[in-house]
C-alpha cells in the first residue's frame, strides 16, 4: 500500500508542473493531505519517528483548508523536491 501511495503522490506532484486547471491543484492538495497522513500513521506504527515527522509536516504543508501562499515557482520547486523524495524513499525501501 505504501508503494502505491508514494508512486501516485509522485505523479500528482509532477503533474503540478503542467498547466492544469486550479481544481487539479485543490484536488492534489486534498489527496496529498490524506496520503501523507496515512504514511505518517504507518511510519508511527513501525516506530520510524523521523519519517512520521516528515510525513506529518508534509500533510500540514499540502493541506487545502488554510492556503499557504508560496507562489507558483516556489510551489513547483516544492512539488519536484517532494516527488523526487518520495521516489528516492521508495527505492531505498526496495533495497532493504
Q: How confident is the model at residue 96 (pLDDT cuts 50, 70, 90)?
A: low
Closest Cα to residue 18, out of 76, 74, 67, 62? 76
Question: Does residue 21 carry a pLDDT above 70?
Answer: yes
Give pLDDT, residue 41: 93
Q: Give the mean pLDDT of 2-17.
A: 88
Q: Which three cell numbers stand for residue 53?
A: 515527522
- Per the structure block, which three cell numbers stand in for 66? 488554510
pTM check: above 0.75:
yes
Mean pLDDT for the chain?
87
C-alpha separations of 22 from 19, 43, 59 in Å: 9, 31, 19
Is pLDDT above 90 for 90? Answer: no
Amino acid at each position: 500500500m505504501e508503494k502505491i501511495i508514494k508512486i501516485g503522490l509522485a505523479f500528482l506532484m509532477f503533474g503540478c508542473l503542467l498547466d492544469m486547471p486550479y481544481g487539479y491543484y485543490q484536488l492534489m492538495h486534498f489527496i496529498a493531505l490524506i496520503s501523507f497522513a496515512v504514511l505518517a500513521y504507518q511510519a508511527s506504527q513501525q516506530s520510524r519517528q523521523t519519517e512520521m515527522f516528515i510525513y506529518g509536516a508534509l500533510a500540514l504543508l499540502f493541506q487545502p483548508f488554510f492556503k499557504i501562499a508560496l507562489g507558483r515557482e516556489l510551489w513547483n520547486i516544492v512539488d519536484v523536491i517532494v516527488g523526487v523524495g518520495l521516489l528516492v524513499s521508495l527505492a531505498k525501501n526496495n533495497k532493504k
